[in-house]
Chain A
Amino acid sequence: MADYNVMELMICTAARELEDGASIVVGTGAPNAAAMLAQKTSAPNLVIMFEAGGAVPLIPEMPISVGDSRTTWKALMASGMCEIMETACRGMVDYTFLGGAQIDMYGNLNSTRIGPDHQKPKVRFPGSGGANDLASFCWRMLVMTPQDTKRFAEKVNFITSPGWLQGGNSRAKSGLPLGAGPYKIITNMAVMDFEPESKRMRIIAVNPGYSEKDVQANCGFELLKAKKIVENKPPTKHELQILREQIDPYRYVIGR
């Protein structure tokens, strides 16, 4: 039995995607933990920003809001929503982490509603917040989420934030900035990317203890498979120690 849990594995996998010197806009929770972990391991010069205006803080502990005072502690700038979003729109933000109640094979995300009636939804979620903006502007959108057949849906109830839309070149035709889009999906079972032509989700790595079959069985649509599927590396002792002792000592995120 491995001595780490699913959340820790996803955070460590996500942190390794962020190269030194890159820029990222993050939210609270797991994405924040991944960015902090990257900064304390392989990417000490990771440029972290928050949509509410905090830019390049030395985050002392996990914020509870993307606008709380932890997001500007020893920061380079306390700015505003337009400053951060426009930095991304100009092309200077490499990564963002997003999530949602549903995701489809093109990486489109639903965080708005379940049910057919928009004015009287069966279940109402928060909506876009800054997610649609970041999914539109940041070069590479990452998603970190546990997977099951409900969440990974053939068709999402509502496209809140754009993935590759209807696949192929539909995103380029929509008017969204060229070249930006979903990059990798990190789940409890696997890592997926998107096949360059069809823009469909594709398995590139499976986590220790899972097979390709498990990954497909817990997905509501057919996944493509990369020519060579590798086994994802488990978290190292060093990563786990930093995550548990420095980043999330109260286990707010990794205890979930």
Chain B
Amino acid sequence: MNVIDQGVGKIFTDPDADKVREFFRKKSRKLESKVMSVKEAVTKFVKDGDYLCIGGFGANRIPASVCHEIVRQGRKNMGFAGHTSTHDFQILCAGEVFNRLDIAYIVGLEARGLSPNARRYMESGKVEVSEWTNYSLSVRFKAAAAGVSFYPSRNIMGTDTFKMSGAKIIECPFTGTKYAAMPAIYPDVSAIHVHEADIYGNCRARGITVSDFDVARASKRLIITCERLISNEEIRRDPSYTVIPYWCVDAVCEVPFGSYPGNMYGEYFSDEEHLREWLKVEESPEELKKFLQKNIFSCKDHFEYIEKNGGMHKMQMLRQKEHMFIGARA
């Protein structure tokens, strides 16, 4: 195929669909329990140097406990998909977990402002970057989920975002229209937080889906955290609710309030007070160090983190906030 133009950005993951078929050929299809702790899941499935993707939308339905555990266990030199990433990105930057990055949205927490520490990290030169967009990364996962090596899209052309990406411009063989060819991303490992899962990893999620269903299928290894474990009988009672099938999943970790301090649709709102504190302490590297010691390194797990930040009283307040629709930013 004739390549009309191409960006100079690096492609950090191999888009070759046949190589990944060989990987998936060997992946287990066994219906067996995958229940384990987050600590165990990260130890087993997240390695130094892996390319990582985090599900959800920044501070909405994120697997916060997995992000903390990755930092706690000191993973380094990872690749990361900065796709709609806000608080998850902030956590991983605090641990200096990755050194190469596909960028769609980074360093910001939307209306909350920019993360001073994430900015310092991104301006330090320690991270090699390629530039993309939210939809570009979405279709890169979509291509991978479909088992193909690229997906054509009509964005990005003519801009510097394209020049700093790894996309290539090609011509449609039917109409002659130009398209940006987006190379598939097959992450080594991803983590997604859902509402419910059975012990095998059949998942139910409510609210917006972002790109998670494609991410789940694109990933070589997948860690699921869920608000609640439910029975396999319940899954079979109405399979139309299953959005991620068990054969994509490697670990199932039950983590109630697992998206905290993020929002979880229909369950609890984000903890804006705590997110403001994160942004505030980041102004001083010393304060951030103390903050991380308290909230990540000295915590055994997600429950201890929640205990230190208001425990069940706080969780109940956030549940009320989610359901009463008042003062989202308060």
Query: In the bound complex, how far is the Cα of B168 from the Cα of A242, in angstroms?
Result: 48
In the complex, the answer to whether A80 meets B135 with C-beta atoms within 8 Å is: no
| Contact of A60 with B325 in the complex, beta carbons under 8 Å | yes
Q: Which residues of B contact A120 (CB under 8 A)?
A: 123-125
- Which chain A residue lies CB-closest to B105? A129
Please give, as numbers and ranges, the residues of chain A lying within 8 Å of B144 by CB-CB distance. Answer: none
User: Is A220 positioned at the interface, with any CB of B under 8 Å from its CB?
Assistant: no
B209:A67 contact, CB within 8 angstroms: no
Shortest C-beta distance, A70 to chain B (Å), equals 6
B324 to chain A: closest residue by CB: A60
A118 touches B164 (CB 8 A): yes
In the complex, the chain A residue whose C-beta lies closest to that of B134 is: A130
Binds B, one of A1-9, A40-48, A49-57, A225-233: A49-57
For B212, the closest partner residue in chain A by CB is A80
List residues of chain B with CB within 8 A of the CB of A85. Answer: 134-135, 138, 155
Please tell me the size bucket of the interface on B: 35 or more
Contact A126 B154 (CB under 8 A): no
Q: How far is the CA of A80 from the CA of B84 in the complex (A)?
A: 12
Interface status of B207 (Cβ within 8 A of chain A): yes
- Closest-CB distance, B1 to chain A (whole angstroms): 15
A67 CA to B122 CA, complexed, in Å: 24
What's the interface size class on A, roughly?
35 or more
Q: How far is B103's CA from A112's CA once the two chains are assembled, in angstroms?
A: 10
Does B272 sit at the interface, judged by CB under 8 A?
yes
Cβ < 8 Å to B, chain A residues 7-56: 27-29, 51-54
Within 8 Å CB of B136, what residues of A? 132-133
> In angstroms, how far is the closest chain B Cβ from the Cβ of A44?
20
CB distance from A23 to the nearest CB of B (A): 17
B110–A65 CB distance below 8 A: yes
Min Cβ gap B300→A in Å is 29
Nearest residue (CB) in A for B322 is A69
Of A70, A126, A171, A250, which is within 8 A of B330 by CB? A250
Q: Are A79 and B161 in contact (CB under 8 A)?
A: no
Q: Give the distance to chain A from B62, nearest Cβ to Cβ, in Å.
A: 10
* Inter-subunit contact A161/B322 (CB<8 Å): no
Q: Is the CB of A122 within 8 A of B123?
A: yes
- Residues of A within 8 Å of B269, CB to CB, are 68-69
Question: CB of B86 within 8 A of chain A?
Answer: yes
Report B129 CB to chain A, min CB distance, Å. 6
Chain A CB within 8 A of B20 CB: no
CA distance A176 to B157 in the complex (A): 6
A-B pairs with beta carbons under 8 Å apart, 28 shown: A29-B111, A52-B210, A53-B209, A53-B210, A69-B266, A69-B269, A72-B208, A73-B325, A80-B213, A124-B119, A125-B108, A127-B106, A129-B104, A130-B134, A132-B136, A132-B155, A136-B154, A159-B158, A165-B158, A171-B158, A174-B158, A175-B157, A175-B169, A176-B154, A176-B155, A176-B157, A176-B158, A252-B111
In addition to A127-B103, A159-B159, A159-B160, 13 A-B residue pairs with Cβ atoms within 8 Å of each other are A51-B134, A62-B329, A65-B110, A69-B266, A118-B164, A121-B122, A121-B123, A128-B134, A129-B84, A137-B154, A159-B158, A175-B157, A175-B169
For the complex of A and B, 4 pairs with smallest distance between CB atoms: A175-B178, A67-B57, A174-B158, A53-B208
